[in-house]
Chains A and B, each alone.
Chain A
Amino acid sequence: MHSVLQRGNSILAYALSVLAFLTFCCFISTVFLNYTTNTDIKTVKVLVKNVPDYSASREKNDLGFLTFDLKTDLTHLFNWNVKQLFLYLTAEYTTPSNELNQVVLWDKIILRGENAVLDFKNMNTKYYFWDDGNGLKSNKNITLTLSWNIIPNAGLLPNVFATGSHSFKFPVEYTTSRM
C-alpha cells in the first residue's frame, strides 16, 4: 500500500483535479461579462466594377471597392480569460436573388497585450467584395458591421457584434477605368 509511485499518482491526479476546478472558476468569472462595445465605422471611397471573376465562373460579376475608417477601443474586452480577439468586418446586403448576403471584407487578430485602441483611416479591405451576380450596382443599403470572436483560455467562444454599424450605398454606374 502507498508506494512511491502510488503517492506520486495520487498527488498528480489531485493537482490536475484542482487545475480543472480553477479553470472552471476562471470560466465562470467571465462567462456573464458583456463584451459588446461601440464602434465607429465610415466608408471613404466606394465604387463598383463589373469584371470577370476568374476564380469562379469567368462570368462578369460585380466587384465592390471601398476604403473605410474604423475607430474603436477594445482594451476593456481583455481579461484573464481572453487570449486574443479575432475582429472581422462584414458587409451585409440584400439582392433580388438572395435575401441575405454576407461578405467578410477585412479581419485582424489582436493578441492580448497588443494595442487594442484602433483608429484606422482610409483602410483598404483585405478580401475581395464579390457579389455572385449584379447585386452591388446601385444597391441602396449595404451595412458594415464589426464583429469579433473572443478566443478564451477556457470556456465558450463568443461571437460578439459591435454596436454602431454603418450603412452606405453603391454608385449607380460601374467604374470602368483602372483605379
Chain B
Amino acid sequence: MDFFKSIPFHMDFEGQHKAERLSRIIITLHGIVGLIWGYAIQQFSQTVYILASGFLLASILTIPPWPMYRKNALNWQPAREGDTAVTSKSKKKK
C-alpha cells in the first residue's frame, strides 16, 4: 500500500497547463496530417489510424505525471504555530 501511495499522481499547476496544451497540439497536428494524408491516398481509414496514434502519443506524454510537469511546486508557507487544533495541543504540552 505504501508503494502505491509513493507513486506521484499530481502535477503542479504549471504542469497541468503544459500537459493540456501539449495534448491538444499533438492530437490536432495528427488530425491535420491524417486528413491531408488520407485525402492524398484516398483512404479515410489512414486518417483515423493517424489520429489514433496521436491519441496514444498524447496519452503517453501527458497522462502520467512525468517529472517535467512537477518542476514548479508551490512554495507553501511553513505551518504557523497557534493556528490549528494540533498546534494548540502542542501548546498545552508546553
| A interface with B by C-beta (< 8 Å) | 1-4, 7-8, 10-12, 14-15, 18-19, 21-23, 25-26, 29, 78-81, 153-154
Contact = CB atoms under 8 A, between A and B. Distances in A.
A153 B44 contact: yes
B43 A80 contact: yes
User: Closest 8 A-B residue pairs measured CB to CB?
Assistant: A80-B42, A15-B55, A18-B31, A2-B16, A80-B44, A11-B23, A7-B63, A153-B44
Contacts of A11: 23, 27, 55, 58-59, 62-63
Nearest to B55: A15
11 contacts: A1-B16, A2-B20, A3-B9, A7-B62, A8-B63, A18-B28, A22-B47, A22-B48, A25-B35, A80-B43, A81-B44
Contacts, number: 69
Given A2-B16, A14-B23, 8 more contacts: A2-B10, A7-B19, A7-B20, A15-B55, A18-B27, A22-B48, A22-B51, A79-B42
Interface in B42-80: 42-44, 47-48, 51-52, 54-55, 58-59, 62-65
